[in-house]
Amino acid sequence: MRSVIRLAPLCICLAAPVAAQEGPLPPGLDAAQLLEGWRTPEGDRVAAIRLDLQNGWKTYWRTPGDAGIPPILDFAGSQNVAQVKVIWPAPHVFEQNGLRTVGYGGALVLPLQITPSDPNRPVALDADLDMGICHEVCVPVQLELEADLDGPGAPDPRIEAAIEAEPVSKPGLARCLVEPIADGVRVSAAIDVQDAANEVALFELRSTPMWVSESEARRDGGQLLASAEFVPEEGKPFALDQNDLRITVLSDAGAIQIDGCPKLD
């Protein structure tokens, strides 16, 4: 397996780049690699990206919050790959300087379910990542990780644990009201979820990445009432597909994921 790491310019928080640095690893990142994983009975491959962050550093979830850097994963350079599904373990919520971000600290294992074009041939996986890692400063990083996946392999407990940490799918627990605002839409959700400490609702669109505000939430009996604003690049109201909505609720009781949010009557 070969790993090539490209370092983007250093920046202070989210400001424009101020200096270019060369080196095998950026500050805050100890290691980056592909875990080769195993082949399933159906012919798919299960692999993973592993990042080892230094103490106090973090990287971001697929929707990182107001001040985070959204990660971009590109597998277009791979060979014998028809589809890659990224499995995101439940993230953590970080509060710093009045801002909420969502992501991971320590070691992150990000499982990949890979469907080969031809299950009888090896997979040459090429994973390009554009991401941010942050502590007192934020470093935009570009990583290129490559691995040849051949042979049956063996289940890797690190990857299995990360798959188990994915939020539990709970469809049908939410109803949503969508209203236009000056530069996008506001989504208000009534979520039928048991009361628990430290509840946070995270909103996103599955097929159309865009900026989403930090959510506001409160309790009303057996429901969690949460809302967030979606703002597209053109900065105007748009027709939001409520079937495309995804709401992830994090709390001390665990993490759940709700795909689709029908109209709130």
* Residue 138 CA from chain centroid, whole number: 17
Query: What pLDDT is recorded for position 156?
Result: 97
CATH 2.60.40 at 2-164, yes or no = yes
- Report which of 158, 129, 164 is spatially closest to residue 47, judged by C-alpha positions: 158
Query: What pLDDT is recorded for position 27?
Result: 83
Query: What pLDDT is recorded for position 3?
Result: 33
Residue with token string 């495309």: 244
Residue with token string 């390009």: 128
For 240, list phi and psi in degrees, rounded to 5: -85, 130
Query: What pLDDT is recorded for position 164?
Result: 97
For 157, list phi and psi in degrees, rounded to 5: -60, -25
168-259 and 2-164 share a CATH fold: yes
Residue with token string 């397996």: 1
Instruction: Tell me the torsion sign for CA atoms 249, 107, 51, 99.
Output: positive
Instruction: Tell me the torsion sign for CA atoms 93, 94, 99, 103.
Output: negative
Cβ neighbours of residue 41 closer than 8 Å, sequence gap 6 or more: none
* Residue 227 CA from chain centroid, whole number: 20
Selected from 2.60.40, 3.40.91, 2.70.98, 2.40.160, the CATH number assigned to the domain covering 168-259 reads 2.60.40
CB 109 within 8 A of CB 162: yes
Residue 219 burial (CB count, 10 A): 10
Q: Give the separation between CA 58 and CA 68, rounded to whole angstroms.
A: 10
Query: In the chain, what are the domain boundaries?
Result: 2-164, 168-259
Q: Give the separation between CA 34 and CA 50, rounded to whole angstroms.
A: 6
Query: What pLDDT is recorded for position 227?
Result: 97
Kindly provide the residue ranges of all beta strands, DSSP E only, lying in 15-169, ordered along the sequence: 29-39, 45-53, 58-65, 72-74, 83-86, 92-96, 99-105, 107-115, 123-134, 138-149, 168-169
- Report which of 62, 69, 128, 129 is spatially closest to residue 89, judged by C-alpha positions: 62
DSSP letter (8 states) at residue 19: B
pLDDT by 10s per residue, the chain, length 265: 333 333 333 332 332 222 222 347 788 999 999 999 999 999 999 999 999 999 999 999 998 877 778 899 999 999 999 999 999 999 999 887 777 889 999 999 999 999 999 999 999 999 999 999 998 878 889 999 999 999 899 999 999 999 999 999 999 999 999 999 999 999 999 999 999 999 999 999 999 888 999 999 999 989 999 999 999 999 999 999 999 999 999 999 999 999 999 998 7
Q: Give the separation between CA 189 and CA 264, rounded to whole angstroms.
A: 8
Q: Give the separation between CA 129 and CA 228, rounded to whole angstroms.
A: 27
Query: What pLDDT is recorded for position 98?
Result: 75
